[in-house]
Amino acid sequence: MHLRPIVGAKKILSTLWRRQLRGRPTGCFFFVREETGDTIAIGLKQFCENNDNSITQVFLTDKDCAEIAAIRCHFPNAKHLLCHFHALMAVDRRLNETDLSKGFKEEIYQVFHDTVYAQTNEAFIEGQEYLCALGEIIFSDDSLGRYFDTFWFNTDWVTTWPIIHRRNLCTLGDNTTNRIERYHLTIKNVLNRKGRKFNTVLQTLLDIATSRLLDRDMKELENQIRFPTTSFSPLLDKLNMLRSLNNRLRANEPTDLLDGE
């Protein structure tokens, strides 16, 4: 979000954080003029000074090298993973810049998609060999095979996007940044409205975060509610039998109910 730095915001936000979110923040937000590696590093440094960054196991991003470098610097124990949605979109954009036929583009995209979600090493290697062997197709003085080999299957990136390399990581089933980016869009829409006063903006942001916390607590409570039953009510069994009899009579099927039932 391209905004001027908010002087004194750290103290104000920390106070609101402590008093109204009861020490359970959903995240940390920094409002900066531009999203460069240096500004991201400053924000992460402040976060790490006030939180235990050693417990972070995974961070998920798109392929923003400046952002990734800053996060790796301040979270050295965390494993970096690429968002699957952004990875697939990047390959799709690259293919659309070629003169290949639509069918061939779709074939290459599908192979990359299947390689992303490959469940075995054999399937992953099969996809890798296909994609890196596209050396006869020239694209902007470079081959598609070299593109996949350099930007996806080299040692720096090859473990960041395949599903087979994140099975034992704590991703909580989340392989995309789309959800948090949609949340950020909500915040940006609030901040981009003209005429908003600073205290109104802060209160709105706090309301959004509080609403998300309450929604999460409600879902956790719903998961704890159970209504155990050992067996069906005799009345329900009788109604189910009558419904079955009615269906069979409509279909002109023979019935063998006992007398008196």
- Concatenating the DSSP letter of every residue in 175-188 gives --SHHHHHHHHHHH
Cα 34 to Cα 40, 47, 63, distances in angstroms: 9, 18, 18
3-state class (DSSP) for residue 89: helix
Only one residue has tokens 């596209």, namely 134
Q: Residue 161: is its pLDDT beyond 90?
A: yes
pTM above 0.95, yes or no: no
Distance (Å, whole) CA 112 – CA 101: 17
- 12 pLDDT above the threshold of 70: no
Exposed e or buried b per residue across 232-259, where buried means at least 16 C-beta atoms within 10 angstroms of its C-beta: eeeeeeeeeeeeeeeeeeeeeeeeeeee
The pLDDT value given to residue 45: 87
* pLDDT at 251 (0 to 100): 67
What distance in Å separates the CA atoms of residue 28 and residue 109, rounded to the nearest whole number? 36
Strands (E), the chain: 58-61, 79-82, 138-139, 142-143
Residue 220: predicted pLDDT: 66
d(CA 58, CA 75): 9
Q: What's the token pair of residue 207?
A: 């309301």
163-218 pLDDT tens trace: 999 988 888 778 888 777 777 777 777 777 777 777 777 787 778 777 777 776 67
User: Based on the number of CB atoms within 10 Å of its own CB, is 212 exposed (0-12), middle (13-18) or buried (19 or more)?
Assistant: middle
Mean pLDDT of 98-122: 93
Q: Tell me what the pLDDT averaged over the chain comes to.
A: 76
Q: Look at residue 130 and tell me whether its pLDDT is greater than 70.
A: yes
- Tokens for 130? 């296909």
Q: List the single range of 1-5, 88-92, 114-118, 254-258 with lowest mean pLDDT.
A: 1-5
pLDDT for residue 22 is more than 70? no
Give the whole-angstrom CA distance, residue 134 versus residue 247. 60
Higher pLDDT, 115 or 21: 115
Residues in CB range of 54: below 8 A, 6 or more apart: 77
Assign 92 to helix, strand or coil.
helix
The arithmetic mean of pLDDT across residues 89-93, rounded, is 94
Task: Write out pLDDT tens, residues 46-57.
Answer: 888 888 888 888
Greater confidence (153 vs 20) lies with 153
Average pLDDT over residues 138-152: 78
